[in-house]
């Protein structure tokens, strides 16, 4: 579902790739121009918090930013997820950050 919103430069003209290797890890989605990765976390990630932190540290040490979303947010709050990706893109671009979009449960 998220890939449909990211592919073909559909989100703010940003080019995302799926399954891109970065710092010895495979990012779910990555925008090389902004050095931004997006990770989607299923339920099993609750059991591997330390691994996820080491992964983030490695990716960020390589000069990339990482944003993570639980799968539930992507399915239940897609507009919020896309807005948060755009906010992170603003940070990566060094632009003023967009206003936060409320996360509705």
Q: What domains appear along the chain, each with residue ranges and CATH number?
A: 2-92 (3.40.960.10)
pTM of the model: 0.85
- Residue 49's pLDDT is 77
Q: Which residues of the chain have pLDDT under 70?
A: 43-47, 104-105
- Residue 13's pLDDT is 96
Is the CB of residue 68 less than 8 Å from the CB of residue 39? yes
Alpha helices in 7-104, H assignment, sequence order: 49-61, 71-76, 78-93
- Residue 47's pLDDT is 66
- Look at the block and give the residue holding tokens 């495979």: 26
Pairing verdict, β 65-70 and 36-41: parallel
- Residue 5's pLDDT is 96
């Amino acid at each position: 579902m998220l890939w449909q919103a990211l592919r073909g430069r559909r989100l703010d003209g940003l080019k995302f790739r799926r399954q891109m290797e970065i710092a010895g890890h495979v990012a779910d989605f990555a925008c090389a121009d902004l050095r931004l990765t997006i990770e989607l976390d299923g339920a099993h990630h609750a059991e591997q918090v330390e691994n996820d932190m080491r992964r983030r540290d490695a990716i960020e040490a390589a000069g990339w930013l990482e944003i993570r979303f639980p799968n539930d947010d992507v399915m239940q709050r897609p507009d919020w997820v896309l807005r948060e990706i755009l906010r992170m893109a603003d940070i990566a671009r060094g632009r003023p950050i967009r206003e936060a979009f409320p996360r509705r449960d």
